[in-house]
Each structure stands twice: as C-alpha cells, then as structure tokens.
Amino acid sequence: MRKTLSCILILILVVGMAVSLSGCGQKVVINVYNWGEFMDETLIDEFEKQTGIGVNYKTYETNETLLAKLEAGGSSYDVVFPSDYAVSEMIKRDMLLPLDYSNIPNIKYIDERLRGQEYDPENKYSVPYFWGTVGILYNKDLVTDPVESWDILWNDKYKGQILMKKDVRDSIGVALIRLGYSVNTTNDAELEQAKQLLIQQSPLVNGYYGDEIRDLIANGDAALGVTYSGDFMDLYWEGIDNVGYAIPKEGSNIWYDCMVIPKSAKHKKEAEMFINFMLDPDVGFRNSEEVGYTSPNTEVIKRMQEEYPEVFELPAYWPDEEALSKGEVYVDLGDYKAKYNDILTEVLAQ
Amino acid sequence: MNKKLRLLAYPYSVWMGIFIVIPLFLILVYSVTTGDIHDASSLKLSGESYKKVLEPIYLNIIKDSFVLAAASTLICLLLGYPAAMIISNTNIKYRGLVLVFFIVPIWMNFLLRTYAWMSLLSPNGFLNRFLMWLGLPKLELMPGQGAVLVGMVYNFLPFMVLPIYTVLSKIDKNVLEAASDLGGNKIVTFFRVVLPLSVPGVVSGITMVFMPAVSTFIISGLLGGSKTPLIGDLIEQQFISSRNWHFGSALSIILMVMILISMAIMSRIDQNNAQEGRKV
C-alpha cells in the first residue's frame, strides 16, 4: 500500500515538473502590476495574441503598497504603474531600470508638455500613463458660491460640510498652495504655517477620507471636498450631473501615473514591448475610453476630441493652460516624509 | 509514546519561532534603535521613539483608544450577557439556528460591514431618511465618536456573546433547582449562583472584545472621518505612509504591554473569583 502510494506521488511530481518545464520553454510571461480598475483588460488578451508573450496581471490600491511589495523582495514585476513622487523615490533608491527607447518608438505620441517633469527630468525611467489634477469636488445642490479658490475650504458657511483628503501630501499640499509655497517644501517655518492653517480649518471639516469622498459628495452627505480629477470623471461617465469640479486659481497639484520597469524585472525587452503597446494610439484610445482619465498621448487626445468633444469643456478632463502652468508635481520628500506625517497626525487629533 | 507525541509539537515550535518570536524580537529591536531599517549596521541604540510616544499628542491618542475600547467592551457586555442568557435558555431545537444568526455577520468581510454602517449612519443615509419620513429631525451621527462606537460594538459583539453563552449553557440545571429549593427567587439565584458561575465566560469575553477594540483601525477612519485617530491607525500610518518603522514599533510595543497589563488584571479577577467560590 505504502509503495503504491509513493509511486503515485513520484509520478505526479515528475509529470508536474515536466509540464511546468515545458511551459517555461515555450512562452515568456511578464508580471504586470497596476492600480485596480486602471486598464481595459481586454487589451491584455490582445497583447498576448499579438506578441505571444503571456501577461500575469495583478492590481494594488496605493503607491505605498506597491513600494512595500517591491521592497520586501521575493517577487519579480516587469511593469508597474507608480505615481510621480513614488517614481522619484524609486529612482533615488535605485529601484528602476532605465528604459531603452529603441524598443518604445511610440513614445513619440506622448505630449511634449507632459514630458520631462521634475520627478524624472529626462524620462529616463518612466513614461506617463494617465494624468490629472487635485481640485475641489462639490455638490451643486449644496454649494451656491462659485468655486474658484482654495479659500472656500475655510469658509464658515460650509462648516461641517467640508471633506479633506486623508492623504499626507494632498491635505498639507492644499494648505501650502493657499499660502503660496511649494508643495514639496522642506522649510520648517512654511510647514508650521501650513499646519496652523489646517488646525484652524479642523472645526469646519466634516471628516478626513480617502476614496470615499467621491460618493459622500455625490450623495449629498457633504457639500465639497478635496479630491482627484479622476473621481469627478468617474461620476461624469456614470451620468451623475449634480457635481462639479474646479481647479482653484492659486494652482494645484498635477499628478502622473507612469509605467516603469523595476530592477527585479526578468524580461526587460518584453516589458518594453508592453509599454510600447500601451502607447499605441488605437490601444491608448480604447484604454482611455474604458478608464476615463486623461491620456498623455496626443493621438488619443485627437480621437477623444472627435468622439467626445464635450469632455474637453471640463477642467477635470482638460485643465486650461493657466492651471497647467501653475500646477506643481510632487517629488519624493526623503526623510522629510515623517515630518509631513506628524503634521497630519497633529491636525487629525485636534 | 510520550516522546513520539512530543515530536509532534516540533513543527509548531518551529512555526512559532519563525513567525512569532523572531518578528516580535525584530519589533523590539526596531523600537529601541534609529537608522536605516534595511541596513543592520546603521542601526544605533536610541530611546528616541519612546520619547516621542510620551509627547502629549500621542499620549492623548493612546488615551482615546483605551477609553473607546473600554466603552465598547462595556456596551458589548451589557448587550451580550442578556443575549447569551436568552440563547442558552432557548429550546435546544432552535438554539443552533439562533447561534447561526449571531455568527453569520462574522462571515462577511469586516470592511464591508463597516461600509454598510457608513451608508446607514451618514447624513443622507437610511436612518436619517427614515427619520425624515417620520417627520423627525435628522441626527448628526456620522462622522463622530458615537458612530465609531456603534461600529466597534457591532463588529465585536459576537466575541462577547459566544464565550458567555458557552459557560452559561454548561451550568448544571440541578444547581439552579437546588437554589430554588432553598428558597431563592429568580433574582437571588441569578446574582448568587448564575452570575458567579459565569465569570470565566465574562472574563474571556471582555478580553476577546477589548483586545481587538483597542488595536482596531479603519473603523475610526470610516465612521469617524479620521477625526479621532486611534493607536491602530497611528501604527498603520507609521508603517505604510510615513515609513518610520522605529516609531511604529515603539507604539506596537507600548500597545502590547498595555494589553498584557489589562489581561493580567482580568486573570487576577478570574482567580480571585475562583478562590472566593471555594470559600463559599
């Protein structure tokens, strides 16, 4: 009995190994790790059919999760999608491979204005994937004043109706912009002023939330709040029309979600082929239609202008030149991160 | 035979060593050092993290966590004890069904349950819409400490009910009959017989509710709008967004010590009760 059992087990082992080995020889599989709901996944099948390269697609929820996962090691990802400040941190910590643009000819479609940002000045490591802004989302039934300035978040009239982003960079960033400082400041005096401004705002704030802000405002549970342009676009495509989105005149943060290749990648060339595929005008257009955020691809934008001219009236989709010129990107704060976090804790604990 | 049995314990000892003892040791090391966490040679002994815990803002957060956890434990006890009694007095035929009703909510994801409370308690949520339909004024529940408390009680109540129920259902019915034979009415029987006999269940219920309640996170973020940050939220923030592992570890150690102290007090009560029981 025991003998037969061990024979069977060995057989299973051998067959299993043979199958997995033969699988390895035939096909390269790349690991792609992206934000949740941030890609038209039918495109993945198309890429697999076109190139014969397999794609193992997984998703995450925050830049911090991505960084923690890459930091922990033990896994190899070929293409990941960090935001600007995460890209800059990964560059600083030598976690990325430089891109070989001879494998990514479609880079020519990327809007010149959106290249060479502070987080990766020569785009040596990253290609923008989608971009957007931070602004004020408001419920049109509850906000009667024009939303033009960050000052409205300090207006007593909306006491208990204001939502702030429970994000270190976004909440402190709003205060810094209102004071006229850089969102990447490492000046203690400037940060102290920003902290005081947020503490002063605290009694007016209904709550500090993350992704919940979108639905709380759409449902009328709160009147206005700080959030990303993408949240407004989600509501817009769903056909919810009682909300508005404004980029305040003082300027705001412009964010980029990028495609990069981590150092642990095993198939760099195939990863570059994948990036090139995502930049293809046709693919980019379909992806843009599905995800709904603003593409950095000029050809995609042309097609969008033909198909959906109305979205180019929306500051959430198409910020005007002024907003673009006044916008600032986040870069990594290094050790100063802890200081920003302590400020947020102090504001929350008021 | 005994030796062979002892061999069976080795896998668990190894497991415990790798996944419990070593990580705990690492947390202890991180809490008393500063430097780059990825480079062991750069770590220097330092009491900085513990000094930071003693700043008033963090002491306040720890205090809030304990007060909220204690309040939710008390409410769970007041709601849970009668519930456990009702279940243990239910006809044995239906008892399984009633128990299932208590356990079913735990099958659902914790986060989902908390989101559900958000849509119940929010300013335009179900509760307020119902009140408006009745012509009553709206309640401002969420975000607030009250909503956080509701969320905690709802999530942890089963952990109070089940241990108390287990103890109550094991009480020998003859003991109750003896009490009534000796002339004790229901109230006297409850306070002098049932309650003392159920103390072990109450103690483990309190421990099982208090521990997750004091270290909970997310609930205060969703139902309290993060305006009452708790120690669990603070620890999460240190490891995820501020990546100050040293401070996060110091907070975790403080939390663990406090839980140990409260558990020691609870087990003392349990022991005293057992001794008193013997004296009587």
CATH code, A260: 3.40.190.10
Is A341 touching B (CB cutoff 8 A)? yes
B107 vs chain A: nearest CA distance in angstroms? Answer: 24
Report d(CA A40, CA A38) in Å as an integer: 7
Find the mean pLDDT for residues A255-277.
95
Is B45 touching A (CB cutoff 8 A)? no
Which residues form the domain of A282? 26-129+256-305
Cross-chain Cβ contact A166/B221 below 8 Å: yes
Looking at the structure, do residues A69 and A37 belong to the same domain, yes or no?
yes
Which residues in chain A have their CB less than 8 angstroms from residue B222's CB? 209, 212
Report d(CA A154, CA A336) in Å as an integer: 27
Q: Please tell me whether residue A139 adopts helix, strand or coil conformation.
A: strand
What are the structural domains, with CATH classification, of chain B? Answer: 50-111+140-279 (1.10.3720.10)
Residues in chain B: 280
Looking at the structure, do residues A227 and A322 belong to the same domain, yes or no?
yes
Is B49 touching A (CB cutoff 8 A)? no
What is the DSSP pairing of strand A54-60 with strand A29-35?
parallel
Looking at the structure, do residues A323 and A274 belong to the same domain, yes or no?
no
Cross-chain Cβ contact B224/A212 below 8 Å: no
Looking at the structure, do residues A35 and A184 belong to the same domain, yes or no?
no
Helix (H) or strand (E) run with residue A276 in it: helix A268-279
In percent, the amount of chain A with pLDDT more than 90 equals 74
Helix (H) or strand (E) run with residue A228 in it: strand A224-228
Q: Is residue A2 part of a domain?
A: no
Looking at the structure, do residues A326 and A279 belong to the same domain, yes or no?
no
Rounded to 5, what percent of chain A is helix, strand, coil?
50, 20, 30
Find the mean pLDDT for residues B111-129.
90
Mutation target among A62, A170, A348, A350 for the B interface, most CBs of B within 10 A: A348
Which residues in chain B have their CB less than 8 angstroms from residue A168's CB? 241-242
| Residue A6 pLDDT exceeds 70 | no
What is the DSSP code (8-state) at residue A137? E
- Give the helix ranges, DSSP H, for A27-97: 42-51, 63-72, 84-92
Q: Is residue A9 part of a domain?
A: no
Residues in chain A: 350
What is the DSSP pairing of strand A162-165 with strand A224-228?
parallel
Q: What is the pLDDT of residue A10?
A: 59
Q: What is the pLDDT of residue A99?
A: 96
Report d(CA A167, CA A251) in Å as an integer: 18
pLDDT-based confidence at residue A3 (cuts at 50, 70, 90)? low
Contact indicator for A329, A133 with CB cutoff of 8 Å:
no
- Among candidate residues A265, A224, A267, the one with its CA nearest the CA of residue A243: A224
Q: What is the pLDDT of residue B184?
A: 83
The 10s digit of each residue's pLDDT in A81-123 is: 999 999 999 999 899 999 999 999 999 999 998 999 999 999 9
The 10s digit of each residue's pLDDT in B192-243 is: 888 889 999 999 999 999 999 999 988 998 998 888 889 999 998 888 777 7
Looking at the structure, do residues A114 and A139 belong to the same domain, yes or no?
no
pLDDT-based confidence at residue B255 (cuts at 50, 70, 90)? very high
pLDDT-based confidence at residue A184 (cuts at 50, 70, 90)? very high
A209 vs chain B: nearest CA distance in angstroms? Answer: 6
B34 vs chain A: nearest CA distance in angstroms? Answer: 13
Q: Of B38, B124, B226, which has the smallest distance from its Cβ to A348's Cβ?
A: B226
Find the mean pLDDT for residues A31-60.
93
B20 vs chain A: nearest CA distance in angstroms? Answer: 18
Q: What is the pLDDT of residue A158?
A: 95
Q: How many domains, in total, are found in chain A?
A: 2
- Give the helix ranges, DSSP H, for chain B: 2-8, 10-16, 22-31, 48-53, 56-89, 92-107, 110-121, 126-133, 145-170, 173-181, 186-189, 195-214, 219-223, 231-240, 245-279
| Residue B278 pLDDT exceeds 80 | no
Looking at the structure, do residues A231 and A137 belong to the same domain, yes or no?
yes
pTM of the model: 0.83
Looking at the structure, do residues A188 and A324 belong to the same domain, yes or no?
yes
Looking at the structure, do residues A296 and A239 belong to the same domain, yes or no?
no
Report d(CA A318, CA A311) in Å as an integer: 7
Cross-chain Cβ contact B244/A345 below 8 Å: no
Which tokens in the block code for residue A146? 């024009």
